[in-house]
Structure formats: C-alpha cells, structure tokens
Structure 1
Amino acid sequence: MTATPPQPDSPSMPHARSGPFRVAAALRDTVALMTLPLVAALVLPAAFAGGGTRRWFGGRGESQRAEAQAAKDAAAAAFYELDTAQRDLRISIETIAAVDDSPAARRAATDFEALGRRIDEASHHYIDAVDAHDLDRDDLEASAAVRARTELTKAKDELGRVKKDLDRFAEGLGPLLGKAETQLARLAPAVERARQSLLAASNALDTARGSGLRADDLAARLAALAPELTRLNQGAGQHGVPQTLERAERVAREAETIRAEAERLPERAAEIDHRLVSLRTRAQALTTRAGQVEPVLSELRRRFAVACWQDLQPVPRQAAEAVRQAELKLTEARAARDAQRWPDATALLSTVRALLNSTDEAVSAAGDRLQRLNAVQKDPQQEIERTRFAIRDAQRLAMAGRNTPDPRHARPLDDSVGRLERAIATLDGRHPDYWHFLTETEAVRRAVARVVSQIREERGGATGQ
C-alpha cells in the first residue's frame, strides 16, 4: 500500500492475533515494518482530526459538513484495517515462502501480489478523495460537502470489498500456513538435537581415547560433520527451512551412530581379543584332530571297497593346509587389532572361522564315514527297513481318500521302490559297496519326502479354497 497510518501494533503497543495471522507476532522481528510515506503523514492527521479552528455555521450546510467528516473517518478506519490485514498477511506469505517451494505456495505468493495491486489502487482512490476535499474550510459549500461524502463513501466501500477478498484469501492459506508453522516449530528442536548429538559423540570419543583406544576412523567421521554444524549455526535464513531441517536430522543420525560406536569400542576390542584366543585354540585342536584322520583312512582302506573311502584321501593334506592358512590369518588379525584397525581385524577373524569350519567338517567326515559303514556292514537290514517304511507311509498318504493314486505321485514312488531294490542288490558279492548303498537309500528317502510334501501342499491348498 502507498500509505500507512500509525499502527497500534508498534513495538510500544504489543498485541496478539489468531487465525491465519497468528504467526505474525512470532516472526515480527524477521520482517521489516513498512515505513510511512510522506503522503500518509500529510493526509492522516486531517483524516482523524475532529475539526480545526473554523467558524461554525448552523443549518443544513453544517449538517452536510458533519456527514462528510463522518464518511472521511469511516474511510480512514477502512484504510487502516486493510493496511493492517495486508501487513499481517504479508508476514504469513513470507513464512510460507521460507518453508514451502511447492506450486501451491508459489501460486499463493502470486495471488497475494495481485491482491496487493488491487489494494494499492483502492488506497490511491481513498487518498485522492481525501486530498480533493478540505472539510475544514470556512467557506465549504453544502454541495462540496455532499460530493466529498459521496467520494469518501465510495472509497470506503472499495476498501471494504478489497478487505473481504483479502480475508477470504487469508482463510484459504490455512493448510499452507499450518504446514509452514509445523516445520518452523520443528526447526529449533531439530537443530538443538543435532548439536547435542554432536556433543555426545565428541564426549564418547574422548572417553574411548581415555581408555587407550585411538578411534581414528570415528574421529575422522566426526570431523567431517564440522562443516554441517557451521551451516546449522548460519541458520535457516541463509540455507532455507526444509534444507536446514533435513541437515539437522541427518547430522543427528550420523552423530548418534558415531556416539554408539565410540561407546561400544572398548567392548568391541575385548570381543576381538576373546575371538583371537578362542580361534587360535580351535586351530590347535584341529591340528591334533587332523592327525587322527590318517589312521581312520587306514582302517577304511583295509576293510572296505575303494569307492567307500577314495573321496576322503585328500582330507589330511587339505586339513593341514587349511589350518596353516588359518594361523596366518590369525597373525594378520592380531596385527590389525594392535593397530586398532577394527574392521580389518573383524574381517580376518571371519575368514579364520570359515577356514576352521570347513576343516572341521572334512576331519569329522572321515570318522563319521567309518562309523556309518561299520553300522551298515553289521546290519544292513535296519537301513533297508527304514527306507521301506518311508515309501509305504508315502503310498498310504497318496491313496488316502482315493481309489487310484494320482500318477504324479504314484510314478516317483514306484521308481523309489525299484531304486531301493537295486541298491539292496549291490550288497551281494565279496566286497559290497556299502557307501553306494547308503547314498542310494538316502537319495530314495529324499525323493519320497518330496512326494509327501507335494501331496500335503496340494491338499492344503484345496482345503483353503
């Protein structure tokens, strides 16, 4: 607007508003107040004056002067109300623009500018009407007073119409303004949380270092957050509210991660020390067990066919090599731990564990093989009956509720019967291949189990439907 009368919401006269303008008071210190143009200083004293030092004439002329003066006062009040509403709404628009860059927010700013042009136009009409008529003139004619009243009333009505449009526009800003206020309300706590998280991470790092742990990687990660803290301190006015919120939340998350790792560092060091000792002990035990594989292989070679033990021949050599590799990795892990390269130490210990696990399985396989071959050599019938029971149980399930089995189920079960009979036939002869017999019966049971699972899934699905 082009003119602004003295405002009751100046720093010496505080007040609060509600509705779309409630953010005005909170952000008053961020928005520059409009200064009074010279024309307002010239117009408004006359607008609010109760009259000057003039001679009073009775009759109709004085009545017309009074009506014109009342119209002037009413127009001045309308001008004041519109100016106040516009300034408060400008603060709301600037609040939304600072937080929201959506198309709706940009459209609101454009619409407010259009309303501003209408307000300027109505204000000029009001000021022109005030300037055109001196109601304090002693020789003011009744006709001039009537014209003044008419023009001032028209200016007041125009100001009132624009004020109504401004009020409707302000009501429509409710959702955008509410969203902006919510983000502004989150801003200060989010920035404070980020600062506190950084402080907590720094303190945890100092504690870890006090216990003799360097934590160089954590210190580097914390130092990388220093520029982010600088930007947070510079404020949302420079970097924008959404960007500052996102930065504060990210800094808080990263600082919290650093704090947690720093606090866990002594425990992590102790855990690595324990694993180093445990895995070294296990490697030594495996060295002893690997030395027992050769006697087992000797007995297998003496009592069973070549096919029963030939695949186990490389186990002693492979076990010795695996243990040697594990011990080398343990040495490297110890060096990494002493250098406090925790990720490297952890990775090396995982490699050692995998090597020892595979070696343990290979060493155990020789003893397990001898045990199973001894059992089947002594009583192969037990393995046969176990497999036949699995086949018969599957056949009963396939026939349940049916006169004839489903070919999809019957065929693999019939094949399993034939495969078992062929496996049993291999036991005849001077040197039976017991290992082949055991692997065949296991394969038959797996095939039967697949058929059983298929039948149950199909019948379960039919029941569900």
Structure 2
Amino acid sequence: MTATPTQPYTQHVACHCRRVRPRGRAGHPRRASALRDVLGLVLLPLPLLAAVLPAAFAGGGTRRWFGGRGESARADAQAAKDAAAAAFYDLDTAQRDLRISIETITAVDDSPAARRAAADFEAFGLRIDEVSHRYITAVDAHDLDRDDLEASVADRARSELTGAKDELARVKQELDRFGQSLGPLLDKAETQLARLAPAVERARQALLSASTALDAVRGSGLRADDLAARLAALAPELTKLNQGAGRHGVPETLQRADRVLRDAEAVRAEAERLPERAAETDRRLVSLRTRAQALTTRTAQVEPVLSELRRRFTVACWQDLQRVPEQAADAVKQAELKLAEARKARDEQRWPDATSLLSTVRALLNSTDEAVSAAGDRLQRLNAVAKNPQQEVDRTRFVIRDAQRLAMAGRHTPDPRHARPLDDAVARLDRALASLEGRHPDYWHFLTETEAVRGAAARVVTQIREERGGGA
C-alpha cells in the first residue's frame, strides 16, 4: 500500500506501524515495507515528529469529512486500525527480544531442553507470520481515507481489524508465557557468558606465569625439558582461545580455558618446586648411599649371630635364617647399582626416573634391614625365653583372662562363639608349655605358639566389641 496525493504520508505510516522481521527468517514483504515506513517516520526531526504522530494515529489529514453515521463508523474503524497497529508492533517487538534470548541460549547450551526451546520458538514464528498476514490483509483491504466510505464498509473494516488485533494480542500473551518459561535456561546461559571472558583471561595469565617460572628455573641451570615440552603443547590451545567463542562455541571455550588453566598451573607449580626437588634428590642419594654402606657392615655381623644360634638352639630355631647373609649381600649390591643409575638420572635431570630409582633402592634396603635385624632379634628372644619361659606364659595368660572377663561381662554364661576359641587358646598354651620339657626344647616353636594364642584371644575381643557396638 503506497501513499497517494489524497492520503497523507502520516496516515499511511499509522496504518502500518510495525517492525521488520529479524534477518534469517522468511517474513512478509508487506511487514518489512510497513516497518520501513515507521523507520522513515522516526527519522523525522523531533519538532516535525511531534506534530505528525498525533495526526498519524488519529487518522488526521486534509480530506473532507462528512458528519452523521458514516463519520462515526469511519472513526471507529480508524481506532480499530490504530489498536491493531499497536498490537502488531508489540508482538513484533516481543518476538525480536525473545529471538535474542533464544540465540543466547543456543550459543551456550546444546542440551535437549535448549534445542526444544529453539524449535518451539520457530513454531511461534510460523504462528506470528499467520496472524501478521491477517492483520496486513485487513489493513490493505480497506481504505479508510476515501471520501465516499460507506458506513457498512467501515463497520466491516472495524470488525476485521478488531479481530486481527485480538489475535495478535493473544499470540503475544502466549509468546510472553513461553519467554517466562525460558528463565532457567536463559539464566544458565547468561551465567556461562559472564564466565567466559574472565576464564579466558585467567588461562592466559596462568600460561604467562608458567612461562615466567620456567625461565627462572632454566636461569638457575636446570633444563626442565619435560616441563618445557608440556608448556609448548598448550600453545595450540592458546591459539584457539584467542580465536574466540564465536568460532569454537561458548561451552567448548570454557572447557578449554579451564583445561589450559589447570595444566599451566601444574607446570608453574612443578617449575617452582624443581630446585627443591633437585636438592631433595641429592639428599636422598647421599642418605641411601650411607645406609647401604651401614647395611654392608651389619650384614657381616649376621654370621657370628647365626653361629651362636646353631651352637645353643635346635635347628628349627634358626634354619629359616641360614641364607640371610647371602641374601643381604645381594640386596645391597642391587641397591648400589640402582643408586648409580639414580645418580646418572639426576645428572641428566631426568627427575621422574631418579625418583623411581631411589624408591627402588629404599625398598631394597628396607627389606635387607629387616632380614639382618631378624637374626639379632631371634637370638635376643630365644635367650630371654630360655632363661625364663614363665614370663612369656604369664603374658599370654593375662591376654586370655582379659578376653574371658570381657566375654562374661553382663552375662551368667559366656556365648559359645566366644568361649570355645578362648578354651582352645588355654589348651594350646598348655601344650606349648609342655613342649619345653625335654633335653632340647624348641623355644622358637614355643614363642610362635604363644604369639598365635595371643592373636586368637585378641580376635575374640574384637568380635565381642563389634557385636556389642552394633547392638548399641
């Protein structure tokens, strides 16, 4: 619909007061033309705009008016036209605002709920196109500025325009409700968008800090080649961060920023600890070498201990210790070889290898130390029990009696599950004591038996406490 000499431009604008459909959706050409008319009006100087708008929406102009029923019907039709134009404008504005919300959500969220929201919005777009088409058709079908406008024609125009207005308003209400339902999705999307810039900046600063720490370490004479390689591997990630979320998406960019931050901080922390790690490695090398030398000396002392065990006690008391000197010497040699490898790894600044080798050396020396100590401990315990076996018996009986008192606490008769193993423990102790009678008593068997009896009594005590604790 175009302006004619008999139809003022302002009236034409008022008839089609609406906005252009957002780019990317097929809209009605007439809606776009109508919005261009409105924009043309908005670009007028303010004094002229103030003078034009009342006339535009009131249907003013230079035509001649005739009184009576016809003019009243024309005025009602014009009012209906103005109301429909306002409803059209409100709906188009709401659709444009909601499109921004949908674009925000889909830029951040790829969940089923977000995809469903986008699809629902597109469906609303089709409905908006339908009601807009009805409105534009109603506007173009009736020229309310004609001098010979009949009352019946005006009434029909009013009815059609009012119906179009009501339909536009109803769709806008539904669109508003749909927009309100997007609140949680929109809040989540806006939160992620708000995180985006700070997250990327933190990742960049972390990379800078890691690089600075690595330079400082290298300046102290440490190569830190593995850390340099890990930092270099983050360069492509930084490039993608610089390319932005527009290319890689908001969720992926946030994940990448978090990953770069985490990896860069790990490199920085390890670089800062590297001088201390080097010093600790040097201390462990010296300490373990000293310990290996001490074990070599102690290993040589095992043989005299074994000689005394052989001379004073039965074979069963020392047979399992026969190969301790040989095994200890082999373990110390292995430890010394591993120490040499650890020293080489440290000189080459292969810190993980050096740490692993030192752990192996420590394990070897620990096991050797236990084996070497076992021979001396065995002789000491056998000497004590040979001198006074009753002390071991009393110690064991005390443990059994303590378990028996606990089993009888709050009871007239003990629970068979507790009494039976305790009775067995008493009998086992008596048999162990009886085994010492004779010319060559097996004191080591006696010691292992009393230790086993104490273990059995301790298990009964644990069982009773667990049962009573569970019942409480």
TM-score range, shorter chain: 0.7 to 0.9
Equivalent of residue 347 in structure 1, options 351, 356, 362: 356
1:92–1:177 contact (8 Å) kept in structure 2 = yes
Following TM superposition, by how much is the alpha carbon of 1:48 offset from its aligned partner in structure 2, in angstroms?
Answer: 5.1
2:459 aligned residue: 450
CA offset digits 1:16-69 (Å, max 9, x no partner) = xxxxxxxxxxxx9x999x997335446997965854432344444444333333
Match of 2:288 among 279, 303, 311: 279
Alignment of 1:80-99 (within 5 A): 80-99=89-108
1:37 pairs with 2:32:
yes
**1:127 corresponding residue in structure 2:** 136
Change (3 A) 1:410 1:78: closer
| Paired residue type of 1:37 | A
1:72-151 matched pairs, under 5 angstroms: 72-151=81-160
Residue in structure 2 matched with residue 267 of structure 1 by the alignment: 276
In structure 2, how many angstroms separate the alpha carbons of the residues matched to 1:111 and 1:262?
A: 53
1:180-259 map, 5 Å: 180-259=189-268
Partner SS for 2:221: coil
Whether contact under 8 Å (1:218, 1:258) holds in the other structure is yes
Unaligned runs of 5+ in 2: 1-14, 42-54
Contact 2:295–2:332 (CA<8 Å) still a contact in 1? Answer: yes
Q: Is contact 1:4–1:37 with CA below 8 Å preserved after alignment?
A: no
| Native 8 Å contact 1:51 1:136 kept in 2 | no
Aligned to 2:340: 331
- After TM superposition, give the deviation of residue 386 of structure 1 in Å: 1.8
When the two chains are superposed, the root-mean-square deviation of aligned CA atoms in Å is 2.8
The equivalent residue for 1:302 is 311
Give the TM-score normalised by the residue count of structure 2.
0.85
Taking the aligned partners of 1:37 and 1:122, their CA distance within structure 2 comes to 15
Counterpart Cα distance in 2 of 1:193 and 1:177: 25
Q: Distance in 1 between matches of 2:201 and 2:16?
A: 39
C-alpha displacement of 1:73: 2.0
Aligned-residue sequence identity (percent) comes to 81
* Structure 2 SS opposite 1:54: coil
Selected match of 1:461 from 462, 465, 470? 470
Read off the aligned partner of 1:326 and give its amino acid letter: A
Distance in 2, matches of 1:119 and 1:437, equals 97
Distance 1:114 1:413 in 2: 81
Q: Is 1:357 equivalent to 2:366 in the alignment? A: yes
Equivalent in the alignment of 1:17:
none
Q: Who is 1:173 aligned against?
A: 182
Alpha-carbon contact 1:47-1:73 (below 8 Å) kept: no
Amino acid at match of 1:264: R
- 1:291 aligned partner, one-letter code: A
Aligned pair in 2 of structure 1 residues 373, 75: CA closer, same or farther (>3 Å)?
Answer: same
2-structure distance, mates of 1:31, 1:104: 22
In structure 2, what is the Cα distance between the partners aligned to 1:158 and 1:460? 74
Structure 2 distance, partners of 1:415, 1:52, is 119
SS of alignment partner, residue 189 of structure 1: helix
Greater shift, 402-411 or 220-229, is seen at 402-411
> Deviations for 1:436-456, whole angstroms, at most 9, x for unmatched residues?
222222222222222222233
Contact 1:416–1:444 (8 Å) recurs in 2: yes
Task: Report if the CA contact (8 A) 2:399-2:457 is conserved.
Answer: yes
